[in-house]
Structure 1
Amino acid sequence: MTSFPEFGEATTATEVADALSQQVKGKNVLLVGVSPNSLGEHMALSIARHSPSLLILASRAASKVNEVISTIHSIAPSAPIISMTLDLSSQSSIRSAAPKILLLAPKLDIVINNAAVNVPDYETTREGIEMHFGVNHIGLFLLTNLLLPSVLRAASSSPVPGSTRIVNMTSAGHRLSPIRFSDYNLLKKNGELVEEERPPRGLPKALLDPDVAYSPFVAYGQSKTGNILFSVSLTEALKERGVRSFSVHPGSIWTGLARNLDEQGQALIRATGKTWKSGDQGAATAIVAAFDPNLNDASDVYLADCQLAPAAEFATDSKFAERLWRLSEELVGEKFDLGEKR
Structure 2
Amino acid sequence: MTSNPQFGRETTATEVARVFGDGVRGKTVVVVGVSPQSLGESLSLALAAQSPSLLVLVSRTRAKMQTVAKKVQAAYPEVRLSLVPVDLSCLQSVRDGAAVIDRLVDHIDMLINNAGVMIQTHTLTPAGLELHFATNHIGPFLLTNLLMPKMLQAARASAARGGRPGSTRIVNVSSQGHEISPIRFGDVNFHKPSRDIPAEERPASIPGFMSFDPPPGQTYSPFVAYAQSKTANILISLYLNRHLDQSGVKAIATHPGSIWTDLSRNLDANYTRLVRKSGGFWKDIDQGSATTLVAALDPKLGDGDSDDVIYLRDCQVAEPAAHATDLKAARRLWRLSEEIVGQTFSLHEVSRL
1:282 to 285, 288, 292: 288
Assess if the C-alpha contact under 8 Å between 1:125 and 1:135 holds in 2. no
Q: 1:333 aligns to what?
A: 342
**TM-score between the two structures when normalised by the length of structure 1:** 0.97
Assess if the C-alpha contact under 8 Å between 2:205 and 2:212 holds in 1. no
2:319 aligned with 1:310: yes
2:2 aligned with 1:2: yes
Q: 1:162 aligns to what?
A: 166
Map Cα deviations across residues 35-79 of structure 1 (whole Å, 9 max, x no partner): 011100000000001010110000111111111111011111111
User: One-letter code of the match for 1:207?
Assistant: F
1:172 to 169, 176, 183: 176
Which residues in structure 2 correspond to 1:61-140 (within 5 Å)? Answer: 61-140=61-140
User: One-letter code of the match for 1:167?
Assistant: V
Q: 2:301 aligns to what?
A: 295
Which residues in structure 2 correspond to 1:248-287 (within 5 Å)? Answer: 248-270=254-276, 273-287=279-293
Assess if the C-alpha contact under 8 Å between 1:176 and 1:200 holds in 2. yes
Q: 2:212 aligns to what?
A: 207
Map Cα deviations across residues 273-315 of structure 1 (whole Å, 9 max, x no partner): 4211101000111110001101012221000101111110101
Moved more, 64-73 or 253-262: 253-262
Assess if the C-alpha contact under 8 Å between 2:259 and 2:288 holds in 1. yes
Question: 2:129 aligns to what SS in structure 1?
Answer: coil
Figure out how many residues of one structure are paired with residues of the other and give that number: 342
Moved more, 186-195 or 135-144: 186-195
Q: 2:243 aligns to what?
A: 237
2:194 aligned with 1:190: yes
Distance 1:234 1:78, change over 3 A: same
Map Cα deviations across residues 298-335 of structure 1 (whole Å, 9 max, x no partner): 22100010111111010111110000000000000010
Superposed displacement of residue 268, structure 1: 4.5
Query: For 2:214 and 2:51, how far apart are their aligned partners in 1?
Result: 52
User: One-letter code of the match for 1:29?
Assistant: V
Question: 1:241 aligns to what SS in structure 2?
Answer: coil
Superposed displacement of residue 13, structure 1: 0.4
Assess if the C-alpha contact under 8 Å between 1:54 and 1:81 holds in 2. yes
Q: 1:45 aligns to what?
A: 45
Map Cα deviations across residues 104-137 of structure 1 (whole Å, 9 max, x no partner): 1120000000000111101112211000001100
Superposed displacement of residue 208, structure 1: 3.2
Query: For 1:201 and 1:42, how far apart are their aligned partners in 2?
Result: 33
Map Cα deviations across residues 150-193 of structure 1 (whole Å, 9 max, x no partner): 00000111122100000000001111110000000011111111
Instruction: Calculate percent identity across the aligned residue pairs.
Output: 50
Superposed displacement of residue 340, structure 1: 4.4
Assess if the C-alpha contact under 8 Å between 2:250 and 2:302 holds in 1. yes
Query: For 1:272 and 1:233, how far apart are their aligned partners in 2?
Result: 29
Query: For 2:248 and 2:277, how far apart are their aligned partners in 1?
Result: 36
Query: For 1:257 and 1:340, how far apart are their aligned partners in 2?
Result: 36
Moved more, 258-267 or 43-52: 258-267
Aligned alpha-carbon RMSD (Å): 1.4
Q: 1:226 aligns to what?
A: 232
Query: For 1:239 and 1:268, how far apart are their aligned partners in 2?
Result: 40
Question: 2:31 aligns to what SS in structure 1?
Answer: strand
Assess if the C-alpha contact under 8 Å between 1:191 and 1:210 holds in 2. no
Q: 1:22 aligns to what?
A: 22
Unaligned runs of 5+ in 2: none
Q: 1:319 aligns to what?
A: 328
Query: For 1:291 and 1:332, how far apart are their aligned partners in 2?
Result: 30
Query: For 1:21 and 1:256, how far apart are their aligned partners in 2?
Result: 28
Query: For 1:172 and 1:160, how far apart are their aligned partners in 2?
Result: 30
Unaligned runs of 5+ in 1: none
Distance 1:238 1:268, change over 3 A: farther
